[in-house]
A = this chain, B = another copy of it.
Amino acid sequence: MRGISLALTAPVAYPMLPSLMKAELISIGTELLLGEILDTNAQYLAARLPPLGIDLYYVSKVGDNLERLTEVIERAWRRSDLAITTGGLGPTEDDLTREAIARVLGEELSVDPGMEEQLRAFFSRRGVAMPERNVKQATLIPSARALPTPRGPAPGWWVEREGRVIVALPGPPVEMEYMWEQQVAPELERRLAGRRTVLVARVLKTVGLGEGHVDELVSPLLKSTNPTIGVYARADGVQLRIAAKAPTKEEAWRLIEPVEAEVRRLLGDIVWGADDDTLEGAVGGLLRQHGLTLATMESCTGGLLANVITNVPGSSTYFRGGLVAYATEMKIDWGVDPEIIARHGVISAECARDMARAVRERLRADIGIGITGVAGPDPQEEKPPGTIHIGLDAGFTEPQSVSYQFAQGREAVKRRAVTTALALLRRTILDWQGRPAG
Residues of B within 8 Å of A212, CB to CB, are 91-92, 130-131, 133-134
Those of A296-338 within 8 Å (CB) of chain B: 296, 298, 301-307, 309-311, 313, 315-316, 319-327, 330
CB of B92 within 8 A of CB of A231, answer yes
Chain B CB within 8 A of A265 CB: no
Cα A241 to Cα B241 in complex, Å, equals 41
- Nearest residue, chain B, Cβ from A38: B43
Chain B CB within 8 A of A427 CB: no
Residues of B within 8 Å of A241, CB to CB, are 31, 36
Given A60-B59, A64-B230, A216-B131, decide whether A377 and B321 contact each other with a Cβ distance below 8 A: no
A284, chain B: closest CB distance, angstroms:
12
A254, chain B: closest CB distance, angstroms:
21
Chain A contact residues, majority secondary structure:
mixed
The stretch of A11-19, A44-52, A96-104, A159-167 that contacts the partner chain: A44-52
Those of A45-91 within 8 Å (CB) of chain B: 45-50, 56-64, 68, 72, 90-91
A15, chain B: closest CB distance, angstroms:
15
Residues of B within 8 Å of A309, CB to CB, are 302
Chain B CB within 8 A of A110 CB: no
Cα A46 to Cα B32 in complex, Å, equals 8
CB of B321 within 8 A of CB of A322, answer no
Cα A216 to Cα B128 in complex, Å, equals 14
The stretch of A185-193, A388-396, A407-415 that contacts the partner chain: A407-415
CB of B58 within 8 A of CB of A62, answer yes
CB of A46 within 8 A of CB of B34, answer yes
CB of B203 within 8 A of CB of A36, answer yes
Across the interface, A313 reaches (CB within 8 A) one of B215, B326, B377, namely: B377
Cα A412 to Cα B174 in complex, Å, equals 8
Cα A391 to Cα B71 in complex, Å, equals 51
Cα A81 to Cα B110 in complex, Å, equals 39
How many A residues, CB 8 Å from partner?
97
CB of B330 within 8 A of CB of A326, answer no
Not counting A35-B44, A57-B63, A301-B307, a sample of 16 additional A-B residue pairs whose C-beta atoms are within 8 angstroms of each other reads A31-B232, A31-B241, A35-B42, A35-B48, A39-B39, A42-B61, A91-B215, A93-B222, A128-B213, A131-B210, A133-B212, A151-B407, A298-B303, A306-B306, A315-B326, A316-B326
A-B contact pairs, 27 of them (CB 8 A): A33-B46, A34-B50, A35-B42, A35-B46, A36-B203, A37-B43, A39-B42, A58-B60, A58-B61, A59-B60, A59-B62, A91-B212, A92-B230, A131-B210, A131-B213, A131-B216, A133-B216, A150-B407, A151-B408, A302-B307, A302-B311, A303-B303, A303-B310, A303-B322, A307-B414, A311-B411, A313-B410
